[in-house]
Amino acid sequence: MRSLVTALLILISARAQAGEVIETHHNVRGNGMGGIYMSIVNDSNAIFVNPAALGRTSGLNWQVMNVEFGINGVDVYNDFRDIDTSDPNSFSQFFGKDVWIRAGGKTAVTLPFFGVGAYTDTQTHLVLHNPAFPQFDTTFLSDYGLVAGGAFPLGPTSYGGISFKRITRWGGQQDIDLGVIASGSLSSIGDQFQNKGNGYGIDLAAQTTIPVPLFNPTFSLVWQDVGSTAFTKSAGADAPPRIHDNLSLGISTLTDLPGLDWTMGFEYRHITESEYPLGQKLHLGTEVSLPFIDLRGGINQGYATYGAGINFLFIRLDAAMYTEEIGAYPGQTPQNRVEIGLSLDLSFDADFNLTSADGKKRKLKQRR
């Protein structure tokens, strides 16, 4: 079983089934909140999803590590756990099923108005077909990126932002024989995907907060991968597929109540991409932050999402259960997914005193 799991992680990709909205830099917290992320970012993730939010950063923040893993349901995990890699017939339960797996990690350092980061994100879709000669229809994309960006003031509570990134992408689409996967050989599986490339991208953003008592609404406009990010072939027969641009509009509120913080957000993403129906572009979420625990919920593409986070000093554990539409329109082919994430964050104030996660939240509210 161990060799099989390792083999599957090599097969990870970011290509979706026809109709699935393709995105990068989503995270476990956001997936538990209806899929929102760029309008609510309040930590070092700003360098990856909304550089304008760096204008609200205070002190020195170091996300030492953030690792995430996802799979489309516990049942899929149990199915893989019961597989005998020496018996190809044990794979028969997967005929016609879409299997999704994701693994990712990142690190970042942010200062007021500036940040740098590095990330890796790998996902896969696997569909076993052709009973006569079983093969996995596999789409594989794995990204490794370096990001640097900054923010600049546009007004008392308004900021613009820009980030530059260099991305190395590996993968593509390939039918893989069942015997290759059953062998558990990393080299033989990796040999199926040869296409690699390098690309450079730009993100632009603007964010403003309106000083309204209690709610303090914040509006964000983010254009990720301006004009799309194309890749120059470095290995293989073809360059990996480009990353399409993503123009998004979001609004969020943060309410400070006795003993808790209440965050709400709404995002309209992929505004310029007409191939996606409106229902797949809308995301609504909320989070209630209590001492040591965060409770989350939302609506992603018309489906309910749930999430939670546990904070202990500098460590945070997040989990999310959500549904992603992989068909051509909402309601056609929903896929249930589960993700978990673990992160270690260190923050220092102006006097270089170490602060906990609760201290970071208090600083953010003061700046808003």
214 in helix, strand or coil? coil
**309 Cβ neighbours under 8 A, 6+ residues apart:** 29, 32, 293, 294, 296, 316, 317, 318, 319
Please report the pLDDT score of residue 18 as a whole number: 41
Dihedral, CA of residue 226, residue 227, residue 229 and residue 231, to nearest 10: -150
> How far apart are alpha carbons 306 and 296 in whole angstroms?
6
pLDDT of 80 higher than 80: no
Residue 147 region, left (φ>0) first, then alpha (ψ -120 to 50), else beta?
Answer: beta
> How far apart are alpha carbons 180 and 53 in whole angstroms?
45
More confident: 195 or 185: 195
Can you give the residue range of the structural domain that contains 301? 2-367
pLDDT of 281 higher than 70: yes
Q: Which of 281, 279, 282 is nearest to 329 (CA)?
A: 279
* CATH (domain of 27): 2.40.160.40
> How far apart are alpha carbons 24 and 241 in whole angstroms?
13
Rounded to two decimals, the pTM is: 0.84
| Helices 2-10 and 74-81: angle between axes, nearest 10 degrees | 130
More confident: 279 or 147: 147
Tokens for 178, please give them.
């069942």
Please report the pLDDT score of residue 190 as a whole number: 63
Please report the pLDDT score of residue 16 as a whole number: 40
Using the CB atoms, write b or e for 65-89: b if 16+ within 10 Å.
Answer: ebebbbbbeeebeebbeebebeeee
Q: Which of 64, 126, 80, 81 is nearest to 101 (CA)?
A: 126
356 in helix, strand or coil? coil
125-181 pLDDT, tens digit each: 878 777 777 777 888 888 999 999 999 999 999 999 999 999 999 988 888 877 676
Please report the pLDDT score of residue 165 as a whole number: 97
Mean local confidence (pLDDT), 251-263: 92
94-116 pLDDT, tens digit each: 777 788 888 999 999 999 999 99
> How far apart are alpha carbons 287 and 255 in whole angstroms?
11
Neighbouring CB atoms inside 10 A of 302's CB total 14
Q: Which of 179, 194, 100 is nearest to 138 (CA)?
A: 100
Mean local confidence (pLDDT), 270-294: 93
Residue 41 region, left (φ>0) first, then alpha (ψ -120 to 50), else beta?
Answer: beta
38 contacts 129 by C-beta, under 8 angstroms: no
> How far apart are alpha carbons 208 and 217 in whole angstroms?
8
> How far apart are alpha carbons 267 and 249 in whole angstroms?
6
Grade residue 323 by pLDDT with cuts at 50, 70 and 90.
very high
At position 122, the amino acid (one-letter code) is T
Please report the pLDDT score of residue 320 as a whole number: 97
327-356 pLDDT, tens digit each: 877 788 888 999 999 999 998 877 777 776
Which DSSP string do the residues of 32-88 spell out, in sequence order?
HTTT--TTT--STTHHHH-GGGGGG--SEEEEEEEEEEEES-HHHHHHHHT--TT-G
Tokens for 92, please give them.
């028969």
Provide the domain count of the chain.
Answer: 1
